[in-house]
Structures are given as structure tokens and as C-alpha cells.
Structure 1
Amino acid sequence: MVRNIRDIAKAAGVSVSTVSKVMNNYPHVSTETRERVLEVIRKEKFVPNSTARGLVMGSSRTLGLFLTTGLSNPFFVQLLAGLEESLKESGYDLIYLAQIDWHPEYSPLRHCRSRNVDGALVFGFQRHDLNFAEMLESEIPTVFIDLDMRGPRAGYITSDNVGSIQGAVRYLAGLGHHRIAFVAGQLDSFIGRLRMEGYRRGMEEAGLSYRPEDIYDGDFTRESGYIATRDFLRRESPPTAIICSSDMSAAGVMDAAAEAGLSIPGDLSVIGFDDIEISRYTQPPLTTVRQDLYTIGREAIEYLDRMIRMPDAPPPERIVPTELIIRGSCGPCPESG
């Protein structure tokens, strides 16, 4: 009877390090040696952890998470509720693949294989941040959140970014606003480009002038909203309304407006994006686009589970509807506007 990997090494006639490499699915172990070690593991039913269990049963019931925002990010915290419920229902554990190396030779695919995960969830990355191209061609089911990467076993889920901003412009135009500025978020990113397209479409739909000077390329932070608004307010004809790509940027807009002695919504209307907790407690409470983060989290796991169970299942290309939450930060265009 084997009790540990030393016993496996002895029974298979290999070193302890070779057993470890096989159990962690490392390359550079010959097929013959790998099969000899696996045969001992199967024969002795050696399952001390999820990695070995996966070798014996063919599934680790574990999903890997690649994340750049940090576990405390308010966006991820809301996403987590949907992830957690779906994980419990489907019987998977989720491990945070935190040991990311930004060196060009780092391989997300090799990282997944070393942890023996059945599938991967990717959130907060841009297209060229890591070598995700190899993930797209691999056998590991992968779901990207807010990044439109596709492969035979890889797909994505995101909010309706275009329709959300287009609807926000429509709402402000309905209040009589004609000069509507936009604090974008990383225009070189997937969601940044989509939200910018929503702003463009919304302005054209309302018959309003599309002015490049009314667009500030921010980075979703409070500081970028503050800097953008200070710049907007210096102009001869400042905007009477500002739409932001995040609630944090909208909070920065409110900071700058208060500093300039402007009333919200009397002098300036503001709309955010995300509906994170802070949006309820700004003064006044923030009108914002609510993303259905619970659904995004829940469905991301459901799609992974489906691709794991059914190898021929098509990867997702899912766009989740949003809702404009009307609070107190928007009002009619001031007569002076």
C-alpha cells in the first residue's frame, strides 16, 4: 500500500521529483515514464489531493481564475456572488492563479496545466497582456469576462456596453441636454472601444454634434474623472452633462464640480457605469448603468461547466443586458446651457 509520493516513486522505479512532475502535469517527462507512474497511482487509488484525484478520475472539479484587479476590487466583489452560487451548484472549486509572471516566457496555459484545472476564467486583462493565444488553441475550456477572445474551446461574456452608453445619451438628450461630454475608459481596451461606440451612436441618434474635444480618455479611476471635468469646465462652452465609463470616474466628476461651485444636477448632470456601492452614497446619489454582475458571474461558470461536460458545445459569445438606474444626479438642462 502506498502512503505518499515516495512510495509511488519506489513502486514505479523513478525519482520523487519525477512523480511530482507527473502529478503536476509538467512537460519533459517521457510518455512511458508518465504512464508507469499513473498506472501505480490508479492501481493503488492514491488520491491525497485534487491533482492526483484528477489524474485518476479524469477531472479535478477545479477551475482556475486569472485576475488583475485584485480580490477586493468592488467590481469583482459583486461578480463573486454569481460565481459562488454557480460553483456550489456545479460542484467545482475555484482557485486563484495568483502567481502570474509578466515575463514574456510566462505561459497561462502551462500554469493551468500545472494546477490541473478543468477550465479557466479570465477577468481584467487586455488582449496582449499575457500569451492567451495558446489558451485559445488548447483543450482547456476558457471564458473571458469583458474581453472578446474566441477559440474552439474559448469564448466570452460581457455587458451590453454599446447599448448602455447609447441609452445614457438618449436619456440626457430627453432632458434637453445638447452638450454631453464623455469620460471614456481606456479606449485601447475592448470595453473602452465599445462604450465609445455607444457614445458616438447615441450622439448621432439624438442629432447632436460629435466633438472630439468632449471626449476624455480616462482609466476608470476617480482621478481621471476629476481631471477630465476640470478640463471640460475651463472651456468657453462647457458641457451640461457628463457620462462616465465607471462610477469611480463619475465620483471624480462630482468632486471637480463641487470644487468649482457647481450644483449637481442643477448646473451639471452626471451618469456613471457599474452601480457599485459608492453610487448609492454620493451626494446626490448617482444615476448609473447597472451591470448584471451576478448573472455574468453565474453564467461564466455555467458556460465553463457545459464546455467541460460537452466537448462539442459551442463557446459563448454572450452579451448581458444592463439597466439605467435613475437617481438624483441628472436633471433638465439649465437654461444657460
Structure 2
Amino acid sequence: MITIKEIAAMLDISTTTVSNVIHGKTKEVSPETIDRVQHVLEEYEYVPNINARNLARNRSKIIGIAIKSRKGHFAEQNLIKDAFTSELLGAIERAVKEAGYFLMIYISDEITETLNYIATWNVDGLIVLGLMNDDCIQVRDKCKKPLVFIDSYFFEEIMNYCNIGLEDEKGAYEMTKYLIDQGHRRIAFVSDSCVAVERERFHGYRKALKEAGITYHDEDFLFLNNLEDENENGLKRILNLTKTYTAFECSADFHAARVINYFHDHGVKVPEDASVTGFDDNIYSKFVRPQITTVHQNPELKGRLAVELLVEQIKNHDTAKKKVILPVELKIRDSVKTIK
């Protein structure tokens, strides 16, 4: 690739003049010189060396995003297929681009591996998604860059970082309460795990049952594995329990869609024979029939806030750390039957 120095020598002008034309600082450059420089730039398809410029400014203009996948989670093998994660990443990518940065992503179920790779990127800041206490402490100890966490859970007394979360417990509480208000007393909770956001949603479910005087039993938690053969077994078990439970409250729209489709394939009508609810209000909730009654969250807002808070830290290292909890909203659609 031709360099600024070579262009200057070719045209017998200073490197400063060439640089000014490249960067649009042409107030004191003659139109003839601008045309000559631009002609050479086009002829040699010159591309500015952004890395060299950023290194001179002691910054990379790269924002990293580290995502921890979880064994057994329904999107373990390809996390980007998860509708919530893909929508969140899309929002982050757009906000990063608008802020003048570049995005690099690393996904692993081992946080040590993730941190080792990210250390080679020389990022200006890092967004971390879905970590728990011990992993968060590792990030704190090994990463000295500006940080923003999303949907992460750590000991507040030892972690002072920006964390953007959601009213997960409240959302599940309100959904369970809605089912109870519709006459349901036998409500199962369907999830692929009981950690992080799923744990908070499970707590909200339990809280609403307790307030209504409904006794929870361990068998009311129905585990749905992401592995194809085990998932089939989990769906069969749920199908066999449609005479025991009137409603199946799922921790994600993905699970609710799978349950509804499986019921349909085996002659169980939703909501006539069994009610099903979800959480997230993503594309799954609107594509299945009946459309899913679910808990709405806004991943677009979550992603943009994360980037805004991170860029603020990058530009001003003394920025106060914030904990942001975004609101939820019930979306009542067609998958719940009222029992009189």
C-alpha cells in the first residue's frame, strides 16, 4: 500500500499537505493540489492506516464484548441463534459504530479463556454479558479497562461497576399473578436452568405462588434441556403433565414456542387444553400460533445504554458507576385461558 510519505515525494509536496487532504483539512490547500492528491489516492486505492493513527493516540478504538455461554443452555452451541442475544448484539453493534468505535466479540463457556484472548485485542473498553459472582471477580482482577456488565450477578459489596439488568423477578411475578388471576392454581415453571436471569424469574414465580397461598413442590419445576434427544424427553414429560397442570410458565419465549409446537403436533390445543406463557417478547412470541402471552423487555435499549455508559467511562475514567434496572411489561396475547 502506498504511504503518505510516498505520495508527498511523488507530488513534491509536504506530508502535512497530503495528510490534510486525506482528513479534509483543506482550508489552506489550493484546489489544484487537492485534485492532484485525490487523483493519486484514487489511483492507488489508498486506505488510511487507522491502527497507526490510533496507536499514536494511545487508543485502539475497539470495544470488546465478552459473552459467557452456559452448558445446558438452549443456545449453548450457537449463542447468536438466540433471538434475545442476536437482537442485543445488533443494538450494541449499531451504537458502537455510531460512537466511532469498532466491535470485537468473543464467546466461550470459560471466562479465563475469554480474558486471555481479549487481553490481546488492546480494547478501549469491554462489555460483559451474563456472568455470575466468581467470573465477575476474575474480570475485575484481570481487566483494568472500562467495563460495563449486562445481566450479570455479583456481590455488590465487592463490585463497583456499571451493570444493566432487568426486572426479571418482577416480570415473572406479574406473569404468575396474571395466571392466578385467570383462575390457574396448578402452574408449572419451565426452564433450562435455575441460574442468573432464570433464577430471578423463578424467584418471582415462587413469590407470586406464596402470596396466593399456593404451595410450591419441587416437581413443579420442569427442566427442558437444549440437547435434541433430551429436549424431546423433556417435551414428552411436559405433554404427559397436561392433566396435572393447567398452565406452563416458561422462562423464555424459545421454550414457550417449543412447548406450543409440540402440543400442537400431539393434539393438545393452546390455550383450550393448556395455557403457555413466555418471557422476553422476542420474535418467537409473535411467530407461533397462538401468539404467546409474555413479558416484554427491550434489548435495543439495553444494548444502547451499555455502549453509552462504556463510552462515557472511556472518555472520563472518573465517571460514577451506575446500576440500571430496566422495566418490564406484560404482553397479553392468546395463549392463556381464563378458568372460571
- Cα contact 2:293–2:333 (8 A) shared by 1: yes
- Once the two structures are superposed, residues 256-275 of structure 1 have per-residue CA deviations (whole angstroms, 9 ceiling, x without a partner) of 42344322111211101122
* Alignment correspondent of 1:92: 101
- Once the two structures are superposed, residues 277-311 of structure 1 have per-residue CA deviations (whole angstroms, 9 ceiling, x without a partner) of 12212121111112210111011101111221221
* Alignment correspondent of 2:326: 320
* Alignment correspondent of 1:295: 301
Q: 1:300 to 1:231 in 2, by over 3 A?
A: same
Q: 1:154 to 1:220 in 2, by over 3 A?
A: farther
- Cα contact 1:184–1:195 (8 A) shared by 2: no
* Alignment correspondent of 1:62: 62
2-side partners of 1:81 and 1:320: how far apart?
18
1-side partners of 2:214 and 2:159: how far apart?
42
1:147 and 2:152 correspond: yes
For structure 2, the residue ranges without an aligned partner over 5 or more in a row are 5-47, 70-77
2-side partners of 1:89 and 1:306: how far apart?
14
Q: 1:97 to 1:254 in 2, by over 3 A?
A: closer
1:217 and 2:218 correspond: no
Q: Report the structure number with the largest CA radius of gyration.
A: 2
- Once the two structures are superposed, residues 52-97 of structure 1 have per-residue CA deviations (whole angstroms, 9 ceiling, x without a partner) of 4343213222101223454443222211343234224422221223
* Alignment correspondent of 2:37: none
- Once the two structures are superposed, residues 2-55 of structure 1 have per-residue CA deviations (whole angstroms, 9 ceiling, x without a partner) of x79xxxxxxxxxxxxxxxxxxxxxxxxxxxxxxxxxxxxxxxxxx8343x4343
- Cα contact 2:191–2:255 (8 A) shared by 1: no
* Alignment correspondent of 2:184: 177
* Alignment correspondent of 2:11: none
For structure 1, the residue ranges without an aligned partner over 5 or more in a row are 5-46
* Alignment correspondent of 1:7: none
- Cα contact 1:264–1:330 (8 A) shared by 2: yes
Q: 1:229 to 1:64 in 2, by over 3 A?
A: same
2-side partners of 1:192 and 1:185: how far apart?
8
Q: How far apart are residue 182 of structure 1 and its match? A: 0.4
Q: Which TM-score applies when normalising by structure 1?
A: 0.73
- Cα contact 2:281–2:296 (8 A) shared by 1: yes
- Matching residue within 76, 83, 88 for 2:85: 76
Q: 1:53 to 1:223 in 2, by over 3 A?
A: farther
Q: 1:257 to 1:101 in 2, by over 3 A?
A: closer
1-side partners of 2:283 and 2:112: how far apart?
39
1:331 and 2:340 correspond: no
SS in 2 for 1:158: strand
Read off the aligned partner of 1:82 and give its amino acid letter.
A
- Cα contact 2:277–2:335 (8 A) shared by 1: yes
Q: Which TM-score applies when normalising by structure 2?
A: 0.73
Q: How far apart are residue 175 of structure 1 and its match? A: 0.6
Q: 1:257 to 1:325 in 2, by over 3 A?
A: same
- Cα contact 1:222–1:252 (8 A) shared by 2: no
2-side partners of 1:224 and 1:318: how far apart?
37
| Count of aligned residue pairs for this structure pair | 284
Q: Is 275-284 or 308-317 further displaced after alignment? A: 308-317
- Once the two structures are superposed, residues 133-165 of structure 1 have per-residue CA deviations (whole angstroms, 9 ceiling, x without a partner) of 342134211222221246667432122110010
* Alignment correspondent of 2:39: none
2-side partners of 1:176 and 1:207: how far apart?
13
Q: How far apart are residue 248 of structure 1 and its match? A: 1.4
SS in 1 for 2:113: coil
Read off the aligned partner of 2:49 and give its amino acid letter.
P
* Alignment correspondent of 2:275: 269
Superposition map of 1:86-235 within 5 A: 86-97=95-106, 102=110, 106=113, 108=115, 110-124=116-130, 133-137=137-141, 138-149=143-154, 154-187=161-194, 189-219=195-225, 227-228=233-234, 230-234=236-240
Read off the aligned partner of 2:150 and give its amino acid letter.
I
Q: Is 272-281 or 64-73 further displaced after alignment? A: 64-73
Identity of aligned residues (%): 30
